[in-house]
Structure 1
Amino acid sequence: MRFLKEPTRNLFFTGKGGVGKTSMACATAIQLADKGLRVLLVSTDPASNLDEVLQTPLRNTPTPIAAVPNLMGMNIDPETAAAEYRERMVSPYRDTLPEAAIKSMEEQFSGSCTLEIAAFDEFSRLLGDGQATSEFDHIVFDTAPTGHTLRLLTLPTAWSGFIEGNTTGTSCLGPLAGLQAQQQIYQKTVESLSNPELTTLVLVTRPEPSAFREAARTSLELKHLEVSNQHLIVNGVFSCESSTDPIATAMQLRGNQAIGSMPEEVNKLPRTTVALAPSGLMGVESLRKISTPSGNSFASVTNKVSSYSLPAGLAPLIDDFAQMGRGVIMTMGKGGVGKTTIAAAVAVALAERGFEVHLSTTDPAAHVATMLAQEELTGLTVGRIDPAEETAKYALEVMQAAGPSLDAAGKALLEEDLRSPCTEEIAVFRAFAKAVSEGADRFVVLDTAPTGHTILLLDSALAYHREVTRQSNQMPETVEKLLPRLRDPDFTRVLIATLPEATPVHEAAQLQEDLRRAGIDPFAWVINQSLLPLDISDPILRQRQHHELPFVEEVKSSLAKRVALIPWQTEPPIGLAGMRSVAEPTTIAAH
């Protein structure tokens, strides 16, 4: 890895779920420790699988990794830290506010922004307090802070006590009021992150267009915050060993095309390419092999998967949807798992059965019309909920309601809060409410649905609304009716999309828990881009097939009521024909 020729003291790994950032962080830490350097490897991911990858139980304090002298690892649980902040903020009001208001505050401080600040607080002790890590030569962080977190913490007004006196109930800034004692450490942390001699930000991606777009967005946002020392790792690049295997040759071609057309923001970064491993990178020895030039010094298997019990495609689920006659179908899941493709395939299949269908997405990178190749289909309409547009409208409402009572510093802080992920969640949620209402007389297929936290946040806000005006005194009728509709299995059915890999499956399991907490039970899981149904001769891909089996079995046996499996497509699913191939694939293996 090129960035290890002259490594900085701090190395941050970032990337969306499933791209391999934990594996790359572990491999980096091991290589540094193997050189005799003292290394601390830290994860702040609530769904961390650092223990699994290193095959060592970890705690929230540095733990020696027996197989790697000089390496220590630790898992920081930001959920626990966020819970402590939440209680710190809410407890003073337990005896003075109504129970509905307390419930709303508690849910308000359960979102992604509170978690961001809590995570930042935890690793800022390691980055900003030199005494805390003086025994180590390098600190490797699995999961970097977001641009929103860094912007928020660089605002001097965030430490002015404004939060404690404001009545708008802003959701993202509250924890900061309890962290003013940390101001100096936070400032040093932000300074360290922007110092190229101290810190390297490593963007991990897969050779896929959507992953490159996400990496480019992250790179640009952090560069604007002066986090300029960046490096790109393209993980999972496949080179086929069998030119007679059409699946293998197609996979190599698709990867090469994605790399050749990656966005300029990441194409100009110094780059390390890591070959696709034939199985999960678990254990120290497999991680050490990443350092080889080819990255393919892994043992492979030649035997086929002996049994396979799931039908390929979405057809059985679509049969059930058709019996509903109308209603809402939502695809949910982490970025990069194929939610938009699955939603489009369902919409096309229902329209071809004679139903009126409206397909909509909020993904700024998902151009559904382009995905359908501009082809028209009787009964199908396509739209898009623009997160930026909806957020701007919502932010304007909040500023008009709260802004007149604030001074310039207060307005600046509120404006920053309104650029947060939580604000976008609520704004998009309101647009979803309007779209869902249309499911009363036709099918509405929604890609990128609200999270369980958002649903609960709105639920508590409905009760709180009668007691206290929080951000807006307007509650649209579609929003008031939305929760019962989402919780009605005869009106709404949720598909959880995932990939047959550890991180996407475990993150999807957490999503399902959040939904059930909000009173929504997913209808089915869709495992996308699976090699299991395919007839493959390439030895590396055959081992990948074997690697998928335990994760597919985990979904089938303990997570999902129903499961659909979509095979990896030799051609990118574009146009009506591509959507049909997702719903009812014809290329399957004969087991």
Structure 2
Amino acid sequence: MFQSFDPKTAICTPYLFFTGKGGVGKTSTACATAVALADDGKRVLLVSTDPASNLQDVLEVELTNTPKEIPTVPNLFACNLDPELAARKYRERVVGPYRGVLPDSVVVTMEEQMSGACTVEIAAFDEFTSLLGNEAITESYGHIIFDTAPTGHTLRLLQLPTAWTGFLEESTHGASCLGPLSGLGDKKELYNKTMLALSDAKQTMLILVARPDESSLLEANRAAAELREIGIENQTLIINGLMQNYLPDDEVSSFFYMKQQSAISELPLQLKQGLIYSLPYVSYSLTGIESLRYLFKYITLSSTQESTNKRSSQVNLPKLKDLIDELSNQNKRVIFTMGKGGVGKTTIASAIAIGLVERGHQVHLTTTDPAAHVGNIFKDNQLTGSLTISQIHPKHEVTKYKEEVLATAGKDLDEDGLAYLEEDLNSPCTEEIAVFRAFAEVVERSESEIVVIDTAPTGHTLLLLDAAQSYHKELSRSTGEVPESVQKLLPRLRNPNETSVVIVTLAEATPVLEASRLQNDLKRADIHPNWWVINQSLHATSTKDPVLMGRANSEIQWIQKVEELSEKCAIVPIINEERMGSLQLKNFLYKCK
């Protein structure tokens, strides 16, 4: 269907940027590409700026922020830039001068405004810009490959003059998660040169990596459109993990294959118009140089096929039923499912709601997933009196919130200031804040019901809301009043007797590492997740498909990692989640017992 990706023929620029949502295989694809180009005689530098990077695990070499030669691959060098460390240094550069000058509460607010994902991305951009600006480095390599590219939002912001001015003068609305760029003001010329290089098709190729599933392809489409807006046109899509065939008599294998084919058939039109490659779904873990070399040879089973087919002992973990039993027995009133996109939060939230109804509770379920179709899922529910549902549309809530902020904070700004404010409102935190306000209203309306909420804000957003609530008068900024429903819900979320947070992940490197960061983020806000759910596990199935069995065995190390990270953990097998009806959800619960 798609031509196979071969770096030796597909790559023709010195700079390569790999991008895509977490867990799609950016790092493994970037590493395999680097190895293939180095094997072809090219001198290659591989750089990771991913906060959840497992670059050194894939290459099986300890790395620092200084390029290091990979012993088993002549011509290949790699370094692992730590964007979290860079972000801490960046925050201190900006906030440090205000310590002892402004009230401590104001400094705390400034620090929190610069603790979000956008600040980390700016700091990462600063790191690789410094690397690209070093001619001694760029002239030493035929290719420089970056694992994780900046988003269109960050790149647009860098082009705005107001983003480079002072904090107190220009941070105008209290929802910023980025903070000023004044700490990097001396690098503006270097940033401009980097932006020109990014948009030069002869110098830079952007490689969008996606899984053959709906959410991943939609995210790739969104990122592609964002980056085209600022002139980055040289884009290529790699659909990673495409199953080559399936076992007709194996339920898991058949479902897996058919689901991928369905997603590909609905490929967004804009993506269809560009160059598309594919990479196969393989049985082996893509760690180690030899495994990386297998990938472009399209070997779906490694040399350890015989041992792969011998099923490892089953992991003995609680089931979803055990989690629901505890929630019911402890009479939790607010239950959040949290995790990165594509891990199955909506399904788990819906299953929890059904399970609690079956245990005699009144339940209200709400979701922000526009594709969840919760109304259709529960249209055949015979327990309507015990279950109510609602759906929050993020786009509607964000539009409403942006209009409110622009009408207050934006009314007295000049053209540049308004442009900065509008771009700042495109940050990920804006959606979290807008949606959280809608969630708060739902919870307030549902005092007499257990409220199950699909997707919750991060700890950073909660602290940001808390800071805006407490300190906006001191900052003399037009933040708008924090609604009473939000004020009431913030302390409620911190009350473990009322609220339970369930983190949903997959038994793969990136989802687990990102879930770990999410948990740490929540703990900063004094919220302590009770349960993790490992969803869509192949290891928890009885599949006989040799490729899927190989991947099932590779899950074990990540299942063990989740056990280390979580207080309690449940595991859910991968089964057909395209359910349209509560009876199918009840069947899902039965299979997960």
TM-score, scaled relative to structure 1: 0.93
Counterparts of 1:373 and 1:297, CA distance in 2: 46
Which of 203, 206, 209 matches 1:201?
Answer: 206
Give the partner amino acid of 1:308.
Answer: V
Question: Would you say 1:216 and 2:211 are equivalent positions?
Answer: no
- 1:170-221, Cα deviation, whole Å (9 max, x unpaired): 5345331122211111112112212222111111111212211111111222
Paired position in structure 2 for 1:396: 403
2:246–2:257 CA contact under 8 A, matched in 1: no
Paired position in structure 1 for 2:170: 166
Counterparts of 1:371 and 1:30, CA distance in 2: 46
Paired position in structure 2 for 1:347: 353
Question: Would you say 1:185 and 2:190 are equivalent positions?
Answer: yes
Paired position in structure 1 for 2:536: 529
Question: Would you say 1:507 and 2:514 are equivalent positions?
Answer: yes
Counterparts of 1:224 and 1:367, CA distance in 2: 31
Paired position in structure 2 for 1:368: 374
The structure-2 alpha-carbon separation of the partners of 1:577 and 1:99, relative to structure 1 and needing over 3 Å to count, comes to: same
Question: What SS does the corresponding residue of 2:591 show, helix, strand or coil?
Answer: coil
2:432–2:457 CA contact under 8 A, matched in 1: yes
Question: Would you say 1:576 and 2:579 are equivalent positions?
Answer: no
Paired position in structure 2 for 1:279: 284
Which of 242, 263, 268 matches 1:263?
Answer: 268
Where does 1:97-136 land on structure 2 (aligned, <5 Å)? 97-136=102-141
Unaligned runs of 5+ in 2: none
1:277–1:298 CA contact under 8 A, matched in 2: no
Give the partner amino acid of 1:369.
Answer: G
Alpha carbon RMSD of aligned pairs, Å?
2.2
Paired position in structure 1 for 2:416: 409
1:14–1:21 CA contact under 8 A, matched in 2: yes
Paired position in structure 1 for 2:242: 237
Paired position in structure 1 for 2:17: 12
What is the CA-CA distance between 1:444 and the residue it aligns to?
A: 1.2
Counterparts of 2:380 and 2:230, CA distance in 1: 38
Question: What SS does the corresponding residue of 1:582 show, helix, strand or coil?
Answer: helix
Give the partner amino acid of 1:185.
Answer: L
1:85–1:175 CA contact under 8 A, matched in 2: no
Counterparts of 1:245 and 1:402, CA distance in 2: 58
Which of 435, 440, 444 matches 2:447?
Answer: 440
Counterparts of 1:53 and 1:244, CA distance in 2: 34
Question: Would you say 1:338 and 2:338 are equivalent positions?
Answer: no
Question: What SS does the corresponding residue of 2:561 show, helix, strand or coil?
Answer: helix
2:39–2:74 CA contact under 8 A, matched in 1: yes
What is the CA-CA distance between 1:22 and the residue it aligns to?
A: 0.3
Paired position in structure 1 for 2:92: 87
Question: What SS does the corresponding residue of 2:570 show, helix, strand or coil?
Answer: strand
2:353–2:452 CA contact under 8 A, matched in 1: yes
What is the CA-CA distance between 1:75 and the residue it aligns to?
A: 0.8
Question: What SS does the corresponding residue of 1:494 show, helix, strand or coil?
Answer: strand
What is the CA-CA distance between 1:15 and the residue it aligns to?
A: 1.1
Question: What SS does the corresponding residue of 1:462 show, helix, strand or coil?
Answer: helix
Paired position in structure 2 for 1:359: 365
Counterparts of 1:47 and 1:350, CA distance in 2: 34
Unaligned runs of 5+ in 1: none
Counterparts of 1:247 and 1:409, CA distance in 2: 54
Which of 545, 548, 563 matches 2:552?
Answer: 545
Identity of aligned residues (%): 50
The structure-2 alpha-carbon separation of the partners of 1:369 and 1:11, relative to structure 1 and needing over 3 Å to count, comes to: farther
The structure-2 alpha-carbon separation of the partners of 1:87 and 1:369, relative to structure 1 and needing over 3 Å to count, comes to: same
1:163–1:173 CA contact under 8 A, matched in 2: no
Counterparts of 2:197 and 2:380, CA distance in 1: 48
Larger mean Cα displacement after TM superposition, 327-336 or 215-224: 215-224
Paired position in structure 2 for 1:480: 487
The structure-2 alpha-carbon separation of the partners of 1:376 and 1:82, relative to structure 1 and needing over 3 Å to count, comes to: farther
Which of 424, 427, 430 matches 1:423?
Answer: 430
Question: Would you say 1:70 and 2:97 are equivalent positions?
Answer: no
What is the CA-CA distance between 1:516 and the residue it aligns to?
A: 1.3
Counterparts of 1:392 and 1:69, CA distance in 2: 52
The structure-2 alpha-carbon separation of the partners of 1:335 and 1:131, relative to structure 1 and needing over 3 Å to count, comes to: same
Counterparts of 1:538 and 1:549, CA distance in 2: 17
Counterparts of 1:184 and 1:52, CA distance in 2: 36
Counterparts of 1:466 and 1:502, CA distance in 2: 43
Counterparts of 2:125 and 2:393, CA distance in 1: 29
